[in-house]
Chain A
Amino acid sequence: MSQRSVEGSGLRIYAILYLLFLYAPIALLPVFAFNSGTIIAFPLQGFTTDWFVQMWANATLRRALTNSLIIAVSSSLLATCLAIFAARASTRFEFPGKGGIMGFIMLPMVLPEIIVAMSLLVVLLGSGLSLSVLTVIVGHTLICMPYGIAILSTAFSSLDKSLEEAAYDLGETKWSAFRLVTLPLVMPGIISSLLISFTISLDEFIIAFFLAGNEPTLPTYIFSQLRFPKQIPMIMALGTVLVALSIVLLAVGEYFRRRGIARIGGKDNGGFL
């Protein structure tokens, strides 16, 4: 017994240290975002909100934000729609070649992004299409889709197949059975998929960097500013806002996930992935 508790507390200390290691760099964000010194270094100078004001007034940043939001909203919607098709097909139907097709669709999850970005870029340049926000949406939809499929497959497969049959048996059509029974039950999964695709797209750098042409997105804007030391405090302020936003989005996603589980009386068995 005591051996176990010693082991447990040892591991516990390790796990907490590990969390500190995970969070330490992020904790620096607000520290320097509110620090009045122009150089990112200790000791701290004084409290200021100037960097947030400067950030708010920056026109390029606004443009980057608008672009990022357009890209993230479009690609999360597109990716989730496509993922609904794929997840339903893979959990509900058997057909020859299913494993291969699904494996291929999930491929972007295990392919270095640089390769996706470069090959798409080569094709786009070769075909004479101009780079824009649209091309980034195309790329982001591709890489978000597998995450959506992973989330939605879990949602679909945890669904009792006879629920839809029961609705059909009680006089509904195949489509209305799907709409009245399946859709509400996988809705938490759909929301999770949307949120996670949105977050991935908002953070994605490589594809945006190569496929956006002259249009800035948030990550490419941040990347371009990192070369200028005097811009760093503003980037720290921006980072603070982004991290806070991510945490809010994740918390909302987690809330929906738990509510979804509670609603159908299931058991909670872990996080997002």
Chain B
Amino acid sequence: MSDGPKAMIECQDIHKYYGDYHALRGIDLTIREGEFFSLLGPSGCGKTTLLRTIAGFEDISSGAVLIDGKHMEDVPANQRPTNMVFQSYAIFPHLSVAQNVAFGLRRDPRGKAEKAALVEEALGMVGLKGYGNRAAHALSGGQRQRVALARALILKPKVLLLDEPLSALDRKMREQMQVELIKLQRQVGITFVLVTHDQEEALVMSDRIAVMFEGGIAQLDEPEALYARPRDRRVADFIGVMNFLPAQIIGETDSHVTVQVGGLGQVDLPHSQISRANPDDPEPTIGFRPETMTLIGPSQPHTQARETEAVIDEVVYYGDMTYYDLRLENVPEPVRISMRNVFGRDVQAVGTRTRLAWSPGSLVLFR
């Protein structure tokens, strides 16, 4: 990766204070050219502040922002090579769709006809061909979103900043726009930086994700790594569903740690499967994702994997999936397993005594 694409945005030890409140606590971050990058975290974690810092709307208390290798300290927002899609879309209500899209071209020396062609092209890119004369306030949420995109992209920025752009849309529209945004990003090849609190959205859309908590970056990784190997307990809690079992460390060598796991028994885990526990709850725990374990029907033969006895406590049917809450021996809290409802597999009943097949490779130790 070191000789990969060049850096587009570099954040160097950025600190930001609002009065006494420490909003950004030493952000070091490099976003590559042409990348779809997401800042993910709960509200108040500083992700929007960081985005607005990159855009130039917020002054930073210390540190530096570089865009395309250039220091941004004395470059105001209106001269940065970035454009923004606002959470509220900020469509100018007194202008038509075309006037909105052409807004940033006011100082452009090109002729009227040329600008009109650019507007039409930008509208076409977001699927709004022929909407130019509509009044902006008469548009639906999804259409406003597209106008905001066209308005930003028409200026051919080096970076497009998106502040929770999908949060105001309903679920169906949101899923459709996710796919469209990915396609659009590939088509224009511009670096996209997305702020979102929706982990699913970040996983679906991003090349890389920075997970933020309390003004700092907890983990920066590709979606798969983030999901499978959360580096600490907060990230694991925030992304997807994870089961936690009490654990006891009984031995440690250079290559692995031996752990006694409640309900599962003894396992050896390599150091790559070890993450940090919460500082305020340092007891070691084992975590695993619901889909990494499988129920085995009573008639099915034994597998290569390890097996554990379990009793079905609750069944939640989701159509394509079924969630089972299982009781393991000596574990007070049930664990959740998800099973795809494929052809020939019956949904099992509550109270059924069953076997759980798993492999140590899907476990993460938090300590």
Contacts and interface: CB of A to CB of B under 8 A. Distances in A.
Contact of B104 (A171, A263, A264): A171
A7 B137 CA distance: 40
A160 B88 CA distance: 8
**Is chain A's interface secondary structure helix, strand, loop, or mixed overall?**
helix
B92 A163 contact: yes
A185 B94 CA distance: 7
Interface string B55-99: 101000000000000000000011100111011101011100000
Contacts of B90: 160, 162-163, 165-166
Contacts of B152: 169-170
A263 B93 contact: yes
Contacts of B92: 163, 166-167, 181
A156 to B, nearest CB: 15
B16 interface: no
B331 interface: no
A66 interface: no
Nearest to A176: B106
Interface in B83-125: 83-84, 86-88, 90, 92-94, 103-104, 106-107
Contacts of A173: 78
Contacts of A264: 93-94, 137
A213 interface: no
Interface residues of A, number: 19
Interface string A155-197: 0000010110111111111000000110011000000000000
B90 to A, nearest CB: 4
Given A162-B86, A162-B87, A265-B138, A168 B93 contact: no
Interface in A91-119: none
Contacts of B79: 171
Interface of A: 160, 162-163, 165-173, 180-181, 184-185, 263-265
Given A173-B78, A180-B106, 11 more contacts: A162-B88, A162-B90, A165-B77, A165-B84, A169-B77, A170-B152, A171-B78, A171-B104, A172-B78, A263-B94, A263-B137
Smallest CB-CB A-B distances: 3 pairs: A265-B137, A170-B104, A264-B93
16 contacts: A162-B88, A166-B92, A167-B103, A168-B78, A170-B103, A170-B152, A171-B79, A171-B104, A172-B106, A173-B78, A180-B103, A180-B106, A181-B92, A263-B137, A264-B93, A265-B135
